[in-house]
């Protein structure tokens, strides 16, 4: 039996993501008319993949224009903000897409090289590749 090393940052990130998901489900029930322009309308889903020397973050942003996405890094927090434009005033039988502003903050669970970050946006997926630091 192999012993797995406990990673407190991984545990905190998992708890943070779960609490975030619970709050997102709760706030989806608030009518849009009660939300101002500054409040994000939705939080896009994300994958964080460990690829050895690199960390790959994927954010699902279908229907978002590349120019409407803003990325920043503050300490070890990756911040993705933007806007999904377009809402039809026509009656819907079902509407699950969320429009308006979005925001996602991801705490990076490992030491990284701040000067070695790349981003690509294709087919509605924002992919951010971050090199890990040796320290």
- 1-17 residue pLDDT tens: 677 777 888 888 888 88
Question: What is the distance between the alpha carbons of residues 49 and 13, in angstroms, rounded to a whole number?
Answer: 13
Instruction: Tell me which residue range forms the domain holding 27.
Output: 8-87+96-132
Residue 57 in any domain: the answer is: yes
Residue 26 in any domain: the answer is: yes
Which token pair is 134?
Answer: 């040796």
Residue 82 in any domain: the answer is: yes
Residue 42 in any domain: the answer is: yes
Residue 3 in any domain: the answer is: no
Residue 62 in any domain: the answer is: yes
Residue 64 in any domain: the answer is: yes
pLDDT tens across the length of the chain (135 residues): 677 777 888 888 888 888 887 777 665 554 444 445 567 788 899 999 999 999 999 999 999 999 999 999 998 899 999 998 876 678 888 878 888 899 999 999 899 998 899 999 999 999 999 999 886
Question: What is the distance between the alpha carbons of residues 62 and 99, in angstroms, rounded to a whole number?
Answer: 11
**Which CATH number belongs to the domain containing residue 60 in this structure?**
2.60.40.790
> How many domains are contained in the chain?
1
Residue 1 in any domain: the answer is: no
Instruction: Please measure the distance between the N-terminal and C-terminal CA atoms of the chain and give it in whole angstroms.
Output: 29
- Segments of 1-135 assigned E as strands: 46-50, 54-60, 69-74, 77-84, 100-107, 112-122, 125-132
Does this model's pTM top 0.95? My answer is no
Question: What is the distance between the alpha carbons of residues 82 and 68, in angstroms, rounded to a whole number?
Answer: 5
The residues with which 55 forms a beta bridge, in sequence order, are: 50, 130
- Of 22, 20, 47, 28, whose CA–CA distance to 99 is shortest? 28
């Amino acid at each position: 039996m192999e012993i797995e090393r406990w990673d407190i940052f991984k545990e905190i990130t998992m708890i943070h993501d779960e609490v975030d998901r619970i709050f997102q489900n709760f706030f989806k029930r608030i009518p849009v008319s009660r939300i101002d322009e500054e409040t994000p309308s939705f939080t896009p889903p994300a994958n964080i993949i460990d690829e050895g020397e690199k960390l790959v973050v994927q954010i699902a942003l279908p229907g978002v224009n590349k120019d409407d996405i803003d990325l920043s890094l503050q300490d070890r927090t990756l911040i993705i903000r933007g806007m999904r434009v377009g809402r039809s005033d026509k009656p819907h039988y079902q509407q699950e897409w969320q429009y308006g502003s979005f925001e996602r903050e991801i705490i990076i669970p490992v030491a990284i090289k701040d000067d070695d970050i790349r981003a690509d946006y294709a087919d509605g997926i924002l992919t951010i590749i971050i090199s890990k630091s040796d320290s």
